[in-house]
Amino acid sequence: MNIAQLLRPVRTRQSPPCSIINKLPLISSGGSGTAAAPSSTRFRHSNAGSSPRLPATPPSPALAYTAHFSTQAVKMSTPAKITDWVDRSDKSGEFKRQVSSFRDHISREAGAKYPPEKDRYHLFVSYACPWAHRTLIARKLKGLDKFITFSVVHWHLGDKGWRFVTKDEKEPGDNVIPDPIAGHEAFTHLREVYYESDADFSGRFTVPVLYDKKTKQIVNNESSEILRIFGSEFDDLLDEEHRGIDIYPEALRNDIEEAHKWQYDLINNGVYKSGFATTAQAYERNVVALFEALDRVEKHLREQKQGPYYFGQTLTEVDIRLASYVTLVRFDPVYVQHFKCNIRDIRSGYPAIHAWMRNLYWNLPAFKDTTQFEHIKWHYTRSHTQINPLSITPVGPLPNILPLEEEVPAVAASTRK
């Protein structure tokens, strides 16, 4: 019996359609214009000391499935509001991610429109966003913190999109500051950076944004392409140590691209397709496919004995963006409860993934130093009011990520047998 058979409830009637649910007063965000960010009441989580005792649920064995999927990019129709993640006219209930709009490239080639230069480019990111998180990791891994500046938007996403903090706001994390670009002193939202580059822009105002301070233009807002840019195009300016870090090595490119064919759609985007689904059918279809893909990653990591990374001894972009540290480090703190991705959690249900993820976090500063759990938890639980209308942020799990040598009680007990 597979996951779908085990978990699909027997229905006696059709689930209420999204159009009916959206009419309930509780779901309405109310008002118009910019949604006010909830107050940033701090609940600081500590990794020090022993973890609180968690429910002793034994881990489930990884199962084998055949997953059917498509990786074709689909351009989403513009919804009624920025915070409507599924087009209200789309009866499928499926979340369809927008195709990135700015696709220029920084290049070492002679005569390039955007050549690699020190302090010419700026990276706008959100600590909450896994797609932006990819680029922060690559920037730090490659030593580009000395060449490319960055700033972080406020964790709350409102009706006007991502906003910058004000001078008086003090949010946790490095470089959470007002727009630092000269000439942008009056900019309050990231959308103004988009309109500066394209006055007729009509899509979502997404992060990351790689921005050219010289021409006052967005170079690229596609995270996978920014990752490749950071991976190689500044190498001539780097010291030997950082030039030698190759996250897209030629010998593994076929394997990396093969992993991309299924991991992006089913895992990275799969959590969003599960969480933003507006019909039970769309949710169940996507969440089952997500866990089938996680089972596949677990099997690969369990059988791979050559080293701590997805491809053994070599750290690649698969560890950053595909098998995907940036998705899986958010899984237990957010996606299990907020996106209903709760067939299993990582810490008790996927021991190989759990060990791989913790190795990256605790042993590589580029991963740990760019992971900001407060922004992550506050953003999802207080911005997605169609999912969590009261904007209450769950306290657990505690800690957000376990120490390397510590396991939840159920896993610890099973290993002692």
Residue 362, domain CATH = 1.20.1050.10
13 occurs within a structural domain: no
On average, the pLDDT of the chain sits at 84
**What was the pLDDT predicted at 83?**
60
Q: Are 247 and 141 in contact (CB under 8 A)?
A: yes
333 occurs within a structural domain: yes
**What was the pLDDT predicted at 124?**
98
Distance CA 103, CA 101 (A): 6
61 occurs within a structural domain: no
Judge if 228 and 166 occupy the same domain: yes
Q: Are 25 and 380 in contact (CB under 8 A)?
A: no
Decide which of 244, 269, 296 is a domain's last residue: 244
211 occurs within a structural domain: yes
**What was the pLDDT predicted at 58?**
39
Judge if 233 and 274 occupy the same domain: no
Judge if 254 and 132 occupy the same domain: no
**What was the pLDDT predicted at 373?**
98
CATH assignment at residue 223: 3.40.30.10
**What was the pLDDT predicted at 128?**
98
Judge if 178 and 273 occupy the same domain: no
pLDDT < 50 positions in the chain: 1-2, 4-6, 8-78
**What was the pLDDT predicted at 86?**
64
With the C-alpha atoms ordered 133, 135, 138, 139, is the resulting torsion angle positive or negative? negative
**What was the pLDDT predicted at 80?**
56
Distance CA 153, CA 163 (A): 6
Decide which of 244, 270, 289 is a domain's last residue: 244
Decide which of 194, 223, 244 is a domain's last residue: 244
Strand partners, 150: 123
Q: Report the domain count for the chain.
A: 2
Judge if 255 and 389 occupy the same domain: yes
Angle, in degrees to the nearest 10, between helices 253-263 and 280-303:
150
**What was the pLDDT predicted at 10?**
39
Cβ atoms < 10 Å from Cβ of 241? 8
Alpha-carbon Rg for the chain, nearest whole angstrom, is 21
Distance CA 196, CA 190 (A): 10
Judge if 259 and 375 occupy the same domain: yes
Q: Are 324 and 272 in contact (CB under 8 A)?
A: no
64 occurs within a structural domain: no
Judge if 223 and 274 occupy the same domain: no
The residues annotated as belonging to the active site are: 129
Q: Which domain holds residue 374?
A: 250-415
**What was the pLDDT predicted at 415?**
79
